[in-house]
Chains A and B, each alone.
Chain A
Amino acid sequence: MRGVVVGMVALLASGCAPADTATPSTLTPLSGPRLARRLSIDLRGVLPTTSELDEVEAHPEDINALREQWLADPRFEERITQMYQERWRTAIDSFHATVQDYGLSHDEDYSFNRSVGEEPLRLVAHVVATDRSYADIVTADWTMANPMLASLWPLDYPAGATGWQVSRYTDQRPAVGVLATNGLWWRYNSPLFNENRQRAAAIFDLLVCRDVLSRPVILSTGLSISDSSTTDAIQNEPTCLACHSSIEPVAATLFGFTPFDDQSNFELQTYHPERENMGSTILNVTPAWMGHPVSGLEELGAAIADDPRFVDCAVQTATEGLLRRQTDDSDVELLRQAREPFVNNGLHLKDVIRLVTQAPAYTVGSFATGASQATIDRETTSRMLVASQLRSIDTDLAGLDWNYQGWDQLDNDTHGFRVLGGSVDGVTLTAPQRTPGLTWTMTFQRAGEESAGLIVDRDLADGATADLLVGATSATTPADAAFTTAVSAAWWRLLAERPSTSDVSGLASLWQSVVDAGGTPRDAWTAVVAVLLRDPDFVSY
């Protein structure tokens, strides 16, 4: 569907109305608290606090103030990073250059690989979070770096700083935002003889949502192995030109990133301005963006920023990230609406996010009678949490820190459970999982049990001010009124629903069964919290 939709949005922008759009009237929104929960997870990666839930329960319209607050929350930047990872897939577990190549210890494997892979995502997220123009992602003269990257690459990372900071490369690379990040080009690298074509294809896919590879490539029909060279065919054969006429001129701008020796850290990490012109020689083309000649990479960035398809693609990427599904023809009107404030007010992606998160397609919780089967099949009345979201939610609720030899277990595939927990690894799994499977269920179970233990240790400690099990102590049993208070508070906070009497008594009998099975009261409390952290209404949103 990608590409088709973009085309239609451009059409709409030029004034033609579509014949057929979805009928939002058949979409019934979630309750205020459940909607707040969805929004908080999407914008901050954590659950709403109890007082936020109380607020929207009493005044549903306060969701608008909360949205503004959450868009300004420091965790919003992290969420955009995660959302873009699902689409850009740069945070992979290993790159051509490794920790060993840099003489770092094995314990730094995770930090090394994640830092590299997140660089372009963090740049986008910083642009979005700080209300810069989205065009900056291809025109900025800075990148984002952390101490790990600063220790590896030629970067002017601020002395004494910590975490991800705006930094600049010191090797004279052009000001083209993500197009000048090592992270993007280590992920989408250019193996021998690929001549930066894979990178060009990534630019089309990620920045203008144009999937060059959706058309079939059949080499033997366009290329005679007996006489022509590949280069001849690429330039002369119509079947090859169909793609390569747009790929080659973009690939030609990227030769400053071509290493002469892919075993050398220096070659791989450094920009080589003197190689920029090699591209047009090797590929025998004039560098260009969609038919418009450019002088080199810097002008390419500017040309992309000016392309209406770049804007459409941003809108589409954000919308799909929020709706947690692909967009299709029936979303054209929504995409058009979301595009308007974006283009009119300086390309702030937050404007798109504001608009989409108020749209019926986002707020939908069920269908009114009369909804068409197509609508029912398409709209995401419920979304499944994936590992990256579980990680930030459980960390916030319980201080979960599940790691193995330095690897965050909910954020890697080498040892951990990122893919098993429904997120993408970027290589073999390129779209997040949409419905639960067995490994997902088990990942959520283990994380839930561990988090429950942490919460019980914290909340039931003598004299502790409980965060979740409000009012309970280690001596509280289901016979006490404090039991009802505590589990009701936890249910509200975790599920954004008020428990019924039978919900409470269900937890009370679970508590009792654990004790009857020989468990301590602490075990029983842990079971109560663990099942809430695995509840069908917890694991979906």
Chain B
Amino acid sequence: MPVITRRDLMRLLPASMLAGLGLSRLARADVGANDRKFLFVFAQGGWDPTWVYAPEFDNQYVDMPTDDSQKVSQNGLTWVSSTTRPSVDAFMSTYASRTAIVNGLEVRSIAHERCRRLLFTGGTDAEANDFPTRLAMGAPSHLPLGNVVLSGPSYSDSTASGVVRVGESGQLGTLIDGSCATGGTQTLRVPSSTLGAPEDAYLLARAQKAAGAASAGAQSRISQAYLTALQDEPAVTSMASLLTVNGQDPLDQMLAAVTLLSNGASRCATVADLGLNRVTWDSHSQVSIQSTHFELLFANLVTLMQTLESTPGTVGATLADEITVVVWSEMGRYPQLNASLGKDHWTTTSMMLVGGGIRGGQVIGGYDSNMGGVPVIPETGASDPDGTSGGVVLQPVHLGATLLTLAGLDPVEAFGTDVAPILGLLAQ
């Protein structure tokens, strides 16, 4: 079994990055549950785990990549390595100690829209908060941009606050600075800040009065939320420049997210990755494009981790100790190629957790011979193939419970007693 040597690593990694390696291994200060922040990177369309996470070379019924792909194990991680995906190797070998791979995650649907909801909320309820929203609302203090959605899906109910979408082309920034219609046929009238101030003050007073006078229920929810939003406006306005990101570039968005997370503006951020040329990961034909999708994604993740490891944290040694990066996709792909050399939908998939609070250097779960999920014992993360030791097939909701636990929130309150967090994924 080939093992990546340090020399390989030197070849794969840019020098600037190696320089940063020392810093990241410094003693990590105690990062408390309240300090945890989360970045969700969502590969939209359903990725094919066989290009990276699922080296199922021994399963003759699984169509593995036909390039020079091979199974590689190092520092507790096992992955599919190929010279066409150097960034995957670079990432895995450099950040193994911070990275956990989860295989055999059962999403329980095959329709994109449904899978996305299941992945983000853990269920099918049309009015449930997703994990990022729950985490943001559970923050020790209210954050105006608690859950910032730079791109990708987001689900929240009528009580959610602090959920902010930046828009597909970063249009929130233009809304804030008032340039939202320039370039078109008109320029909006926006009062100067001096003339706008009396308006804002008047409105805040009106909203306060309305919230105070509202009758219970919907009226109170709406007026209270309006008041909160008006109160949050100045804070968000002051961050306008951070919110004016390129809506099409996942790396720009990830880095903007890091800034928002690290300066305390947000607790969660979501970024969608649509793959090469934004064709999405829904490869019903020519699934080999996923090789490129993964290479681009991991190149971005390498840059992301470089940034996280080279930036001092608020309480942790670096941001990589405070921010947990969740890299996931709404479904997997049918193990065999179809007639167009693509792969159709499949309900099990893989995901990756990197950084703060994660017990790295491990692969949790797995695929059985039928590409179903292998049960996992939540307390330890150990596999329990015949399910006799209390193992469960992992579902997104278990991930949600795990993230909530990491953030010091009560998973039982959110998902009931039947859903155990996967403590085996967490450090300590």
Contact = CB atoms under 8 A, between A and B. Distances in A.
Contacts of B194: 517-518
Interface stretch (A64-72, A74-82, A116-124, A439-447): A439-447
A220 B62 contact: no
Instruction: Find the residue from B165, B178, B236, B373 having the highest chain A CB count within 10 A.
Output: B165
A366 interface: yes
Given A191-B282, A192-B285, A517-B195, A220 B368 contact: yes
A415 B342 contact: no
Contact of B197 (A217, A420, A427, A517): A517
B146 to A, nearest CB: 10
Interface stretch (A48-56, A273-281, A293-301, A398-406): A398-406
B21 interface: no
B114 A415 contact: no
A98 interface: no
Interface string A497-540: 00000000010001001100111000100110011001111011
Interface string A426-463: 01111101111111111100100110110000000000
B175 A367 contact: no
Interface in B33-51: none
A526 B188 CA distance: 13
Given A379-B218, A439-B172, A443-B175, A402 B188 contact: yes
A270 interface: no
Given A220-B348, A450-B188, A540-B223, A383 B175 contact: no
B195 A536 contact: no
A381 interface: yes
Interface residues of A, number: 83
A1 to B, nearest CB: 9
Contacts of B8: none
Contact of B372 (A201, A221, A404, A540): A221
Contact of B223 (A214, A405, A441, A536): A536
Interface string A182-226: 000000000111100010010000000000011011111101111
B73 interface: no
B288 to A, nearest CB: 15
B111 A531 contact: no
A536 B207 contact: yes
Given A419-B165, A436-B225, A446 B188 contact: yes
Contact of A531 (B62, B106, B202, B225): B202
B281 to A, nearest CB: 13
Interface string B307-345: 000000000000000000000000000111010101010
B154 A435 contact: no
Contact of A404 (B116, B164, B181): B181
B225 A381 contact: no
Given A192-B338, A326-B126, A404 B191 contact: no
B62 to A, nearest CB: 7
A226 B214 CA distance: 62
Contacts of B181: 402-404, 409
B285 to A, nearest CB: 6
A147 interface: no
Contacts of B346: 219
A414 interface: yes
Nearest to B368: A220
B218 A431 contact: no
B12 interface: no
B340 A441 contact: no
A61 to B, nearest CB: 25
Contacts of B228: 436
Given A192-B342, A367-B216, A435-B222, A213 B165 contact: no
A480 interface: no
A417 B175 contact: yes
B170 to A, nearest CB: 10
A376 interface: yes
Contacts of B158: 433-435
A366 B220 CA distance: 10
B370 A220 contact: yes
Contacts of A429: 153-154
Contacts of A382: 214, 218-219, 222-223
Nearest to B226: A436
A383 B218 CA distance: 7
Given A417-B171, A431-B127, A405 B184 contact: yes
B191 A527 contact: yes
Contacts of A191: 282, 284
A392 interface: no
A469 interface: no
A220 B236 CA distance: 46
A537 B226 CA distance: 11
Contact of B203 (A366, A517, A523, A531): A531
B127 A201 contact: no
Interface string B242-255: 00000000000000
B97 interface: no
A257 to B, nearest CB: 17
Nearest to A456: B189
Contacts of A439: 164-165, 167, 172, 175
B352 interface: no
Nearest to B185: A403
B389 interface: no
A326 B128 CA distance: 13
Given A191-B282, A438-B233, A428 B154 contact: yes
Given A192-B338, A224-B370, A414-B168, A514 B195 contact: yes
A123 to B, nearest CB: 23
Given A367-B216, A382-B219, A441-B229, 18 more contacts: A219-B110, A220-B348, A220-B370, A224-B370, A326-B126, A382-B214, A402-B186, A404-B183, A420-B171, A420-B172, A427-B113, A428-B154, A438-B232, A442-B175, A446-B175, A446-B180, A518-B194, A536-B211
CB-CB nearest 5 A-B residue pairs: A220-B372, A434-B158, A513-B198, A536-B210, A404-B184
21 contacts: A191-B282, A193-B340, A193-B342, A365-B215, A376-B216, A380-B218, A404-B180, A405-B183, A413-B167, A420-B175, A428-B116, A434-B221, A436-B228, A439-B164, A441-B233, A446-B188, A449-B191, A506-B206, A518-B194, A523-B191, A527-B199
Interface of A: 191-194, 198, 201, 213-214, 216-221, 223-226, 230, 326, 365-367, 376-377, 379-384, 401-405, 409, 413-417, 419-420, 427-431, 433-443, 446, 449-450, 452-453, 506, 510, 513-514, 517-519, 523, 526-527, 530-531, 534-537, 539-540
